[in-house]
Every structure is written in C-alpha cells, then in structure tokens.
Structure 1
Amino acid sequence: MNRTLKRVLGLAGSAVLGLAGAVTFASAAQAHHVEFEGTAVCVDESTWTVTWEATDWEGKPADIGAGFIESYSVNAGELTGDLAVPNAVLPEFGASPITGVQTLSTDETSATLTLNAAWPNGQKNTGSSTVSQPEGGCAEEPEEPEPSYEYGGFYECTSVYAWGENYSEDALAEFTFVSSDGEEISGTPEVGDWIDYTFFVQDFEAGLSVDILVDGELVDTITWEPNELCAYISVENDCDSLTFTLSSPEDGEDAYFEVWTNLTEDEWTFDLAPGESETIDIPGQEGLQVYYYIETQKDAITGEVRWTPCPPETPSESPSPKPELPKTGSSLTIMVSSAAALIVAAGVIFFLMRRRRAAQDW
C-alpha cells in the first residue's frame, strides 16, 4: 500500500465533543467520518423538526476527494432536503453544510439520523447522532422541564470511548457508562461540560461492549469489533500517561507504524519485522487524542485513542484492594506485587512472635 495514503486513513480530524453531532465510528478506518449536528425546534403542539447540517471531517487531506452519502436512515418521521438526495456530496469542513430536515410527531421524544458515507479512496463510515425534543417539549404548558442532552462514542483496536453532554440547565440528565467487564462510570455534567471515558479492551478473546444509560434507561450500546491488525498494538493507561506497545507478532509480517497526537508536533514512525516491538509513553493531559496508523502488505488500519483521567477512588470504611487500572495486556505485575506484600506481612508476624516468646522466657 502507498504510504502517502497514511494521512488519508489516519487523520481522524478533531471530533469536537462540544458539537451536537455524535459520530459513532463503525468502520475499520476510524478517521473517515461525517461531521454533522442537529438543531431541534417545535412547529406546533403535535410536530417538531430537527435541521441536520453535515460536512466532511475536519482536517481531511485535500487529495482524498469529497465524500458522499450512500444512504441514510431515521428512527422516526421523514427526512427531506439535500441530505435525503441519493449520493449527496459532502462539502469541505468549514464550508456551507448540506442540510436536511427531519419532521417528527411530538410522540417521539428523540430524533436519530444515521448516515452511511463513502470516499473516493474506498473508505466507508457509518455515523449516528441523536437529538432530544426541544427543552420542555412542544406542549404549551409543560408540567416539568425535560433534560435536553446528547451522547455518543466509538471504538478502535484498543478501546471503546463514550461521552454525554447536557444542554438544559433546568433539567440535567445523569449519564452512566457500563462496560461488559464490569467497569462503571457515571455523572451529571453541567451545561457547557461533559462526561467521557475510555474503556480499554483487556481481553481480546472476550471482547468489550459499553452500555450508555441516560437517567438509568439504556439508550445505546457500543460494541468493540476486532480487526486482524489489532494484534499489532496495545495501550495501557496508568492515569498519568498512555503507553503504546507496537509489535509485529512472531507469525505476523513486516509492519509500518506511525503515531502522532493532536496537541504536539511529535510523531513516531517504526518499521518492525516479526517478533520486534517498540514502546511509546505519552503524558496524559486534557483533550489529548493520540492517532495511530498500521500498515502491512495486506492491509492497513488507523485509530484514535482519547486519554481520560482515571475516576477518583471511592473511600471506604474498611481497606479494600486498589482497583486495577484500565489497560490491555498481562496482570503479572499486580500478581507479583501482591505476592511480595504477603511475604513481607508473614515476616513481620514471625518477628513479633519471636520477640514475644523471648520476653516470656526472660
């Protein structure tokens, strides 16, 4: 594969969390995606609409060519406008977007638009965004304010990322993210803030999925799906940094790796033969997004890992083991540390018993 295409596959753009469009990445090439958002308004007591605006992704290399909408689907109502036209071409990011209007009954509390897009280089992506009814609903006298919110996420080789954001100060929704391996994060962000978390795949055989709940109700599930090249990369988060381990398996093939971030000019490139590996430590900081690109003779893949701080430990009345940090890889270090602690404790008990017996003999 021509390595000049690495930016075509690799630049994931800056998927800004503040955008109202929650893009769910569902293809192997995670960088290609549509930037889109929706604005909801009431038409009358029985009808409301969402105006969707869409462009190609931010930071897309100019040599890729314009993406286009192969197909779309809505959860309810009808979509009209340019977005509903077959093979609608996506404008460049920053240009005037193409639009579509989804019209729904007020019986529907949320509107979801799913766009299936493709690019001239063969890459495809499916993205979804969900917008709730306007604050307070469309009735003349709403009984109480309803939360207005948005949520979304995506997966890549090493992790599943989920986020949620509130838009109404009168009614804040609580977001809960629950992974299939038992990790749970919840919070109620203020307007202008958000809650997000990166769940790392700890067992490639078992896989990983993350449920998104809003006020205790399941609204979405993001399911991690493996790729053959996912065996070439693993990531560990120790709460202070992200450690990337790049390797070509013994039974693999020669591979080219590239890693870069959205916050610095640093860039790492490696050519690794089967059995070789390299490690990169990247300090964690707010807003950090790390992109990677892996290429072999047969295939190529790109992905984006977002650093999120570890959740604060919950104090308890009785001592309890410290939770294992999110990571991919072996738990051997924790096992060795636990064994060492037991040996030290046994030594202390033995020493105290010897002193007590000596005192009695005296």
Structure 2
Amino acid sequence: MNRTLKRVLGLAGSAVLGLAGAVTFASAAQAHHPEITGNAVCIDGSWNVTWDVALVGPVDGKITDINPTEPAIDGTLQEGATGKNFTGTQIYPGTATEASINVSAVWYEGERNEISDSRDGHVVFQGTCAETPEEPTPEVSANAMSDCFGLYVVVGNNTEALAEITITPSAGEAVTVTPEVGEPYEQYFPVEDTEAGLTVTVTTEEGEVGVFTWNTEELNCDWGFVYDTCDGLEFELTIPENGEETTFTFTTSNGGEPIVVVVAPGTTETVVIPAVDNAEFSVHYVISTQKDEYEGEIPWVPCDEETPSESPSPKPELPKTGSSLSIMIGSAAALIVAAGVIFFLMRRRRAAQDW
C-alpha cells in the first residue's frame, strides 16, 4: 500500500469515528427528555390547569428549571425534584384562553456523563369559564304597629328575587301581594271585636315571616268614642279627671266651618256632624294639648238600609300623630308611621231607629 492510500484510509477512519460519536450523542439525547401533558378544567370561574411531566430516561432525572412559575404551581412538579413522574396544578383566571410551561431536566449516567434537555407544554382552553353568579334568594321583611282601632302592617321584598307574600288576619280576608324592591306594601286591619282581639300572620312559600298581635297597653285610648250612625258621625269626647285640658278641632270634607271644642278634665262633650244629602264625607280632626298635637281622619259612608248594623265600625285608616310621637317601623322600607295616642276607643254604628 502506498503512502497516499494510507492517508486516505486514515481520513476515512476518522470520519467514521466522528459519525459514530454523533450517533451515540443523539441517541442519548433522544432517550432522555421531559414529556409534558396538560389538561384544563373550569372550576368556580377559574381554569385549573394540571401538568403531568414524565422524565423519560433509563435513570431518574432531576428538574432544574420551570418557567413560568406564576401562577404558582401546586404539587410535586417543583424545581429540584428528583424522580420520573411529577404533577403540578396552576390556576388561571376564567378570562384566559391558553397556558404554556417549559420544563428543563438533567440525568446523570456514570460519574461524568451528564445529559440535559428541556421541553414545552401547551394547552388551549376550550369554551368559556365565566363565574356563574349566585341566584338571589327571596328576603322578606314585615313589621306592624297597633293603634286604638287595629293593626297597621308593612311588608316588603328586600332582594330582586321577589316573593309572594300572604298577610292573613285572624278576622277578615287574607291579602296576597308581591311588592317590588323598595316599594313596601301597607295594609291596615281594623279590630272587629275588641274582646277577641286581632292577630296578623305574614307568610311566604318559604314559611312564616312573623305573627303580629294587636296591643294597646302602651296607648291612651280613653278619650272617648266615635259613633258611625246612619245620619253621620257623632263624637263623644271625654277627658279623665287626671288628664289635661284638650282642644278638639273638626273639619269636614263636605264644607262648613271648623268645629272647635275645648274639653276640661273630668268632663264630656258631644259633637254631631251630619251627612249632607246622604253623601260620603270625611272628618279631619286635630287634638291639641299643652305637650302634643295629634291628627287623623274618619270617613263616613251611607248606611245599607236593608241591613243596618249595631256592630262597631273601626276606622279604616291609621291616624297620624305629631312628630314628637313618631316612630320608625318597617325594616324593609324604613317607613315612618304614626304611633301614639288616639282618642277613640271604638266606633259603633247605630241603627236609625236608635235615634
């Protein structure tokens, strides 16, 4: 073999060794690499992304870097962890559309043989993940106040989830309403029998809201009577001996001059206000003492000639009092209503033949 042939064979041998080394290196890199799988699930308005990472290789690998680490990763997928399989979860906002991650790892085979590799993981979110708003639940409030004639009830809906509210008196017809938010419903229930009293129960489909009882223990209802006769209204005004001088002013809706009566303690005065042409009318009254002033209104309607009644006929509206005795009721609407002293104990309708 001549020198030229030896030189050619030597170069060919070097090329073969180099090619073998390249094949060996590529085979090691192929056998050592991270394998990443991502899965996204919408939970409570957020995307929960779970990364499953396998460090593929004949020996355990070590995770050297993870990017990004925000959102925070919860699980075994952590920098510095050693092994073959790892899991980590990241939570993305519901408005996000995708998530990506890069994991780098290293394997040690022998004392000096170190192999490293890194791979990317990517997942695209499918659909939307908006947080479902909580459905509002009905919230009903109710309150009541007694006067000398009956019970004044206020109910209301406090949320957009409106509820049907039933108000049932112990005597009389029940009322069912569905008030709008901020628009409380008000109803006055007169007492038909003072001995039997009156209770009003407020309920919804959810159950009982409250039971309210007519109570006049804290009221002064000893100032007289008003009789609803078939000819008009008759006021019998009485001031107890331990009371104070009181001025009563009556103004009718059917015309005429105001009637002013001053009643001294321990005395009784009678005021008769007749109907005009048997037409409906009302009497506005003002009660004045040195300390307070109260007002209210009493309506009158013609008698039913076929069925005259001897039973009491309570006033259908809640009288108003002066500001010194006003109280706040109705938690739903913070409605200011009158509270305090009404001078009528009851109203009675007398038959025409009693006159």
Q: TM-score, normalised by structure 2?
A: 0.34
Q: TM-score, normalised by structure 1?
A: 0.34
The structure carrying a bigger strand percent of its residues is 2
